[in-house]
């Protein structure tokens, strides 16, 4: 059985955004338990030249909403990128998940050869749909989700690999 463009994208994006949301909940709990200003985490970064946690989440959500829309041939939703609280970041994640779930398989499948043009800064990049998904979106999305995880872990939020991966039942694996 072949893997479809939809199967390779939307379900995985939704699952990882759900895991990201759960990780943020743990960060909120940690901040409350340790009386840490949540802004410390939201503005944290791993290196001085990296984006802070808030921007990591903005980019991750932009990556997947843009992907779904472009592969489906529909307009990309626009978000303001003004989130400064955990609640606002959670709302952005939820809004993105809702959008992703509104795009159906018929809209995405068959987009392997669809031409996708991105304007990034002063540069224009042109992809075919399959290369766009596998060589651009997926690596970028996982990079920014992983960086969010790493920022929180670095700041002593008690999260581990299974928080990142999600519960085994959501992984569709057989546990022996």
Domain with residue 102: its CATH number is 1.20.120.450
pLDDT in tens, 76-131: 999 999 999 999 999 999 999 999 999 999 999 999 999 999 998 889 999 999 99
| Number of domains the chain is built from | 1
Neighbours of 123 (CB within 10 A): 7
Q: What is the predicted pLDDT for the residue at 167?
A: 78
pLDDT at 175 over 70: no
173 within some domain = no
Half-sphere exposure of 26 (CA within 13 A, CB side): 20
Q: What is the predicted pLDDT for the residue at 2?
A: 87
103 within some domain = yes
pLDDT in tens, 7-63: 999 999 999 999 999 999 999 999 999 999 999 999 999 999 999 999 999 999 999
157 within some domain = yes
Reported pTM: 0.93
20 within some domain = yes
């Amino acid at each position: 059985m072949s893997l479809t463009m939809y199967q390779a994208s939307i379900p995985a994006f939704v699952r990882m955004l759900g895991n990201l949301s759960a990780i943020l909940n743990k960060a909120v709990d940690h901040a409350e338990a340790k009386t840490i200003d949540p802004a410390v985490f939201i503005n944290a970064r791993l290196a001085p030249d990296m984006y802070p946690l808030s921007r990591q989440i903005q980019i991750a959500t932009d990556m997947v909403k843009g992907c779904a829309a472009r592969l489906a041939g529909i307009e990309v939703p626009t978000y303001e990128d003004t989130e400064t609280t955990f609640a606002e970041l959670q709302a952005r994640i939820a809004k993105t998940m809702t959008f992703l779930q509104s795009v159906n398989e018929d809209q995405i499948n068959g987009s392997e050869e669809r031409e996708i043009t991105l304007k990034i800064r002063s540069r224009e990049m042109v992809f075919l749909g399959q290369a766009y998904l596998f060589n651009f979106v997926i690596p970028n999305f996982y990079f920014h989700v992983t960086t969010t995880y790493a920022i929180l872990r670095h700041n002593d939020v008690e999260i581990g690999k299974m928080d990142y991966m999600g519960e085994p039942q959501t992984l569709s694996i057989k546990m022996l």
